[in-house]
Structure 1
């Protein structure tokens, strides 16, 4: 009988100070700005990246776009859209990386390490979480990443995929259990930036966009939040249980 081994899955979470990349010096030039790398890919030798930048005041917007476009690894920087209430800018970047560095995503993908969530940029570091199917893939990717800059490993573990899928199912069911009115108010709150940091609007401003008064809008949000957070709670507790079991 052949020896059939069940493939493992590893979750590798790390941050990197990406030497020579715009992410390294973004907060030196713009201390309050926070970034999310929505996607990044190569097209005919050029790396195309879409980023979301938050805490961008309108008075600094043009300066930020110009700074990104003039960065050594970039060819162009173009504003796609801007939300002045949420101080949020979506920016498209194109670069050929004709320097001693390259996009982190290139290193990850060629080593079969696949991001699970968009990478974030804060305080001069890129924060990534990826899945890989072997320690060898993670080790090789880690060594190549060290050629790009200083790497700090946050965790390397076997994710609880069954638990994660169960948790996601429970969250989906919680969302589906919302009444049409609760879903309407919650969706509007998200769209208007009520849950942004800093908040782009308050309860009073949401009520002005609704047919209900302030207390009713607040009650709809509280009931919606309670349903969703109860579904999310077991997922938040899982890492703590895993650490306890390991100790």
Structure 2
């Protein structure tokens, strides 16, 4: 089984288009449910300051492809997170990415994390050629695609095995590379004597560069973990990607 993470700028999709102007809002396309009339509703999760989320919602509703967007949870103060249900009417010649995943014969992680216009998808397939077929089909509709990672995994035993996608999408390529290097050479092992200089040498970069990327990666991952362990805690400032 191949696991592939791709970053997509989906032009014409309100989720991708609107989030470009709202980088301070973290956004997840959590679930999709088909209705009897051939249409579908999406459960969307917004995370950020109240004013920023409300501005995002207003712009989303103004997008020509957005049919509706309604609050799904009760408004009790502002816990930093809000859920909405939306309907999107994709224009002819601009199919939803989900359809292209299925047409390529791939499976997908149900949650798609979006930030600054970029949709982070995790897809699975037994044939790596299907990944190329999927990427080509997305590009064919004038969208930008960046394959972040494609690895062979032994098995997917249950739903928990694919829940790490949103965590990886919180990191830039360099942050992920630095964190992976630190992990691989034992930086986080108990009583480890691995230093930042060792990580920098492993990557072939300056110590300060390695330190900056690792600190940002740690901040992003801890923030992601914290938001899931304590969803009612007010969302604070999240480190920006560089």
1:26 Cα shift?
2.3
Shift >6 Å, 4+ stretches? none
1:83 Cα shift?
6.0
Candidates 224, 229, 232, aligned match of 1:192: 232
1:48 Cα shift?
1.9
- Does the 8 Å contact 2:24/2:48 carry over to 1? yes
1:21 Cα shift?
1.1
Determine the C-alpha separation between the residues in 1 that align with 2:14 and 2:146.
19
Candidates 5, 24, 30, aligned match of 1:13: 5
Candidates 53, 64, 83, aligned match of 2:46: 53
Counterpart in the other structure of 1:75: 67
Counterpart in the other structure of 1:236: none
**How many aligned positions are there?**
168
Determine the C-alpha separation between the residues in 1 that align with 2:134 and 2:34.
18
Query: Within 5 A, what are the aligned runs for 1:85-96?
Result: 85-96=78-89
Cα deviation, 1:25-75, whole Å, max 9, x if unaligned, reads 323432311101101254333232111010041x45544333222212111
TM-score (structure 2 length as normaliser): 0.60
Higher helix share: 1
Counterpart in the other structure of 2:58: 66
Counterpart in the other structure of 1:158: 152
- Does the 8 Å contact 2:19/2:114 carry over to 1? no
Query: Within 5 A, what are the aligned runs for 1:1-247?
Result: 9-43=1-35, 44-57=37-50, 59-81=51-73, 82=75, 84-116=77-109, 118-148=111-141, 149-161=143-155, 190-193=230-233, 197-198=235-236
Change (3 A) 1:84 1:32: farther
Change (3 A) 1:83 1:140: farther
Determine the C-alpha separation between the residues in 2 that align with 1:116 and 1:95.
20
TM-score (structure 1 length as normaliser): 0.59
Change (3 A) 1:142 1:60: closer
Counterpart in the other structure of 2:174: none
